[in-house]
Structure 1
Amino acid sequence: MKLNPLNATLVAAGVLAMGAAGAFSLKPWGQDEAKASTPPAVVAMATPAAAATTPAAATAPIAPVPAQGMVPNYRAIFAQAGPAVVGVTVSGTHKLSQEEQQMQQRLPPGIENDPFFQFFRGLPHMQPRGRGGVPEQPFRGQGSGFIISSDGLILTNAHVVRDAKEVTVKLSDRREFSAKVLGADLATDVAVLRINAKDLPTVRLGNPKQLQVGDPVMAIGSPFGFEQTATQGIVSAKGRSLPEVSTTTGRVSSAVVPFIQTDAAVNPGNSGGPLFDGTGAVVGINAQIYSQSGGYQGLSFAIPIDVALKVKDQIVATGRAQHGRLGVSVQDVTHSLAESFGMPKPDGALISGVARDSAAAKAGLKPGDVITEVNGEPIVRSGALSSTIGMSSPGEKVKLKVWRDRAPIEIEATLGSAEEAKQVAANEEKGNAAGQLGLALRPLSRDERRQIGSEGVLLIENATGAAARAGIERGDVLLAINGKPVTSVEQVRSLMSGKPKSVALLVERDGDQLFVPVNLG
């Protein structure tokens, strides 16, 4: 048994990838079953006062919209808000990843001449092989968005417009405008567009903090290109923390977003569209679905509108959004861990690692500490810490309530910048062969080791690059490198410091041990 929290696929809600000649999924030749389930869709806090700075809709409602908690008048909500929902079409090119290039190289010989293949050649992974390979791939796609100011300010998803050279916005009255991307934040998957137009209809913005599980919601967007499509459901959960997701133009991180989970039908093409509450106010941006088929299966996720508005304010002011960083690796607190720490209940974010020279290290935080509050706000799950810190600003001081040595203490930390951390990581990777290995590792707790029945200490949380190409999988446990047992990340760095051209990794997977040769070239 290995630790793998998601067995299905998290995909974007999504840009409908159309390539040059199609819009529906085709299982790529040579791709394994798990990866073949990925669809062609592009696979991702403002205070009430801040929200009020955005002009509200001037369109009069067709019929009274009931207060939250009553049966919504969906007809009235659509009539009032529908004109402010737009379609977003994009085109451009993106650089093929090594995995995508390898996928093309595994196509059967002569398949480019097959008429069936040629019909679908515009789809992802279906580009023909060229001389010397295909470094870039053209794409076309379609998503959704909504107007938040009458002078042409629009919100959508970052993955909708990522790498796009041309962005076109289509209004509900069929008018089309070329849009300028003011900025896109991959950490939250929020993008801000501007079109040159006046007196546009706008949506009314709500407060997602007032949403409760069971409240009715409604989504409007362009699933599979069907414009102005409305679906409805309920809030299934709040504060969901999701891993980063793959897209046809890269990866989108989601750790800082406390997603709203709903069962409203959302499909490829809905990405960037609004999620309304029962009063007709926008409370979220539809962004991702959890699916084993590539289409809607009852699990949809939206970015809370207060998160999006805070990002929007930064993008409009500076062209980009910044996020705070504490510099810790965290996990949830289980009942058994809470008992061993002497905690009254299993709440908080347990620190399993502290980054060197980070805000956490400077503040004196250490592995084994449990953060239970940030600025007086309770931290129940580890994901709440990621979103709270991520939506704070670099340089901001935060007061942490920490459980240490069977008693609570208070620690103040000055947050660093997530951008600075990425640069440091990139520099370390350039000068360290461990970066070439492509492993993200974290120590397993004693409870986790007992749970999976492993004597190993290092869990592989993500495998990219050389390790992924060799067959290393997320959830494997790393036991040894070139026959030398490893029990810490520092040992791995030390063994890789010689920059070997190849290594043999001993990993444990589903109770079995196997050696995997990794060519670092």
Structure 2
Amino acid sequence: MFNRLWLLFAQVVTIFLAAFFIIATLKPSWLTDAQMSSMVQGVTLKEGSYDSAVTNPGSYHDAVKKSMPAVVNIFTSKVSAKPKTRKGNGGNSADPLFKFFFGDQPPDFEPSSSLGSGVLVSPEGIILTNHHVISDADEIDVALADGRKFKAKIIGSDPETDIAVLKIDAKQLPPPITLGKIDSAHVGDVVLAIGNPFGVGQTVTSGIISALGRDHVGINTFENFIQTDAAINPGNSGGALVDTRGNLIGINTAIYSNNGGSMGIGFAIPINLAKQVMESILSNGSVTRGWIGVEPQNLNKELLESLGLPTNTVGVLLSGVLEGGPAARGGVVPGDVLIAVNGDSCKDVRQLLNQIAQIEPGNEANLKVLRKGKELSLKVQTGKRPKPKTMN
């Protein structure tokens, strides 16, 4: 009797093991599902309680909700493409370059169409964007956040600050963006970049202000950039840089990149400069700046030694003076070292350009120069700065 029971038990175990082996080989999910079912029995989940009308702590939703409707997409087109001349970077294509983050462009031809961004700043349909977004465009289309599209016309642009002003004729426009004050911006403040990168649609990224008053970058003639690490990419040009209140503090312009994408160093034109240029364009159709007709050069140790000047001399060497120009008529000669303009010291070429540009043409500039080691005071009546030459 015992032998029969043992034989029966052995047969049952053998059949069970054979069935387990077959299931494990052919249908392993059956065993997994069964195990998971046994594991989750009796588990209690707790869900949070939310009020959809209340934003999450630390959220920038309110700032985005306030400013995003005023950010527009700009589509430009040309009748035909033509070969494009590119500036080199010293022969090393791996070197990081300052790039305008405009729409994707073929390497050897100007595009027949491109994409950028802009900011609606007034209920009359005035839009701020970058000069390089609309330069040489045959047609400009503006798409609002609600999907409506309109033809835009250029009121004016300023290539030396890379600001352009457009206008669209449309009814029931979204609320224009609120202009902020650059004095309220500080290094370390959180900022939001809004635009249309790579044409994927309106996008918001966040970062901090990395620096203020950044110049000597080599992008524009007149520079006073906000530097930020907010991710900005091709298509963001002309878009908004806003603070956490949703107020416009800058127009995104360029990035420092060796691959065309964001590397955490971006530049925006501060709103005070953009507003100044816009108001001048709206009033006069262009920007008028002072000019004296000199060829300035930054001082270095070798130049100071050759001029016989102390090594701590601060100023700008005027290596060339335009014959018959404002400076020449005021008594400036080549070789003079300009050390002050209207009582303010002149440290380098970039500062000199800004100082003279801010003087209305026709007004007098008091220049203090060093000539053969002696200090002289000269009065120069400024002229109107010529328009920059366009590159073909």
TM-score, normalised via structure 1 length: 0.54
Partner of 1:260: 226
Partner of 1:86: 72
Conservation of the 8 A alpha-carbon contact between 1:255 and 1:387: no
After superposition, the Cα gap between the structure-2 partners of 1:126 and 1:403, relative to the gap in structure 1 and judged at 3 Å, is: closer
| Corresponding position: 1:394 with 2:361 | yes
| Corresponding position: 1:413 with 2:380 | yes
Partner of 1:329: 295
Conservation of the 8 A alpha-carbon contact between 1:238 and 1:258: yes
Unaligned stretches of 5+ residues in structure 1? 1-61, 65-70, 101-121, 128-136, 245-253, 427-463, 466-521
Post-superposition shift, 1:140? 0.5
**Equivalent residue runs for 1:57-76 within 5 Å:** 74-76=60-62
Q: In structure 1, what residue type is equivalent to 2:340?
A: E
Partner of 2:36: none
Residue 193 (structure 2) aligned to one of 212, 215, 219: 219
In the aligned structure 1, how far is the partner of 2:335 from the partner of 2:383?
A: 21
Partner of 1:491: none
**Equivalent residue runs for 1:221-300 within 5 Å:** 221-231=195-205, 232-243=207-218, 254-300=220-266
After superposition, the Cα gap between the structure-2 partners of 1:97 and 1:324, relative to the gap in structure 1 and judged at 3 Å, is: farther
After superposition, the Cα gap between the structure-2 partners of 1:359 and 1:157, relative to the gap in structure 1 and judged at 3 Å, is: same
In the aligned structure 2, how far is the partner of 1:200 from the partner of 1:371?
A: 50
Conservation of the 8 A alpha-carbon contact between 1:180 and 1:195: yes
User: SS of the counterpart of 2:379?
Assistant: strand
Partner of 1:306: 272
User: SS of the counterpart of 1:419?
Assistant: coil
Post-superposition shift, 1:194? 0.7
Conservation of the 8 A alpha-carbon contact between 1:216 and 1:235: no
Partner of 1:364: 331
Per-residue CA deviation, residues 357-408 of structure 1 (Å, 9 max, x unaligned), is: 2222222223443334333444333212223333544333323343444465
**Equivalent residue runs for 1:38-187 within 5 Å:** 74-93=60-79, 96-97=82-83, 99=85, 124-125=106-107, 139-187=112-160
Instruction: Using the aligned pairs only, state the percent identity.
Output: 38
Q: In structure 2, what residue type is equivalent to 1:352?
A: S
Unaligned stretches of 5+ residues in structure 2? 1-52, 87-103
Conservation of the 8 A alpha-carbon contact between 1:258 and 1:384: no
TM-score, normalised via structure 2 length: 0.70
Q: In structure 2, what residue type is equivalent to 1:265?
A: A
Partner of 2:162: 189
In the aligned structure 2, how far is the partner of 1:150 from the partner of 1:356?
A: 48
Post-superposition shift, 1:271? 0.7
Q: In structure 2, what residue type is equivalent to 1:241?
A: H
After superposition, the Cα gap between the structure-2 partners of 1:212 and 1:406, relative to the gap in structure 1 and judged at 3 Å, is: farther
In the aligned structure 2, how far is the partner of 1:392 from the partner of 1:348?
A: 19
After superposition, the Cα gap between the structure-2 partners of 1:167 and 1:403, relative to the gap in structure 1 and judged at 3 Å, is: same
Q: In structure 1, what residue type is equivalent to 2:195?
A: G
In the aligned structure 2, how far is the partner of 1:401 from the partner of 1:281?
A: 41
After superposition, the Cα gap between the structure-2 partners of 1:165 and 1:391, relative to the gap in structure 1 and judged at 3 Å, is: farther
Number of residues of Structure 1 aligned to a counterpart in Structure 2: 319
In the aligned structure 1, how far is the partner of 2:234 from the partner of 2:283?
A: 31
After superposition, the Cα gap between the structure-2 partners of 1:345 and 1:84, relative to the gap in structure 1 and judged at 3 Å, is: farther
In the aligned structure 1, how far is the partner of 2:363 from the partner of 2:202?
A: 41
Residue 182 (structure 2) aligned to one of 208, 215, 218: 208
After superposition, the Cα gap between the structure-2 partners of 1:125 and 1:199, relative to the gap in structure 1 and judged at 3 Å, is: closer
After superposition, the Cα gap between the structure-2 partners of 1:181 and 1:368, relative to the gap in structure 1 and judged at 3 Å, is: same
| Corresponding position: 1:317 with 2:283 | yes
- Structure of larger gyration radius: 2
Conservation of the 8 A alpha-carbon contact between 1:337 and 1:346: no
Per-residue CA deviation, residues 139-186 of structure 1 (Å, 9 max, x unaligned), is: 111111101111211000111111212211112222222211111222
User: SS of the counterpart of 1:179?
Assistant: strand
User: SS of the counterpart of 1:389?
Assistant: helix
User: SS of the counterpart of 1:388?
Assistant: helix
Per-residue CA deviation, residues 69-98 of structure 1 (Å, 9 max, x unaligned), is: xx9963332122111111111111467357
- Over aligned residue pairs, what C-alpha RMSD do you find? 3.4
After superposition, the Cα gap between the structure-2 partners of 1:229 and 1:399, relative to the gap in structure 1 and judged at 3 Å, is: farther
Conservation of the 8 A alpha-carbon contact between 1:371 and 1:379: yes
Conservation of the 8 A alpha-carbon contact between 2:105 and 2:111: no
Conservation of the 8 A alpha-carbon contact between 1:343 and 1:406: no
Post-superposition shift, 1:238? 1.6
User: SS of the counterpart of 1:145?
Assistant: strand
Conservation of the 8 A alpha-carbon contact between 2:241 and 2:249: yes
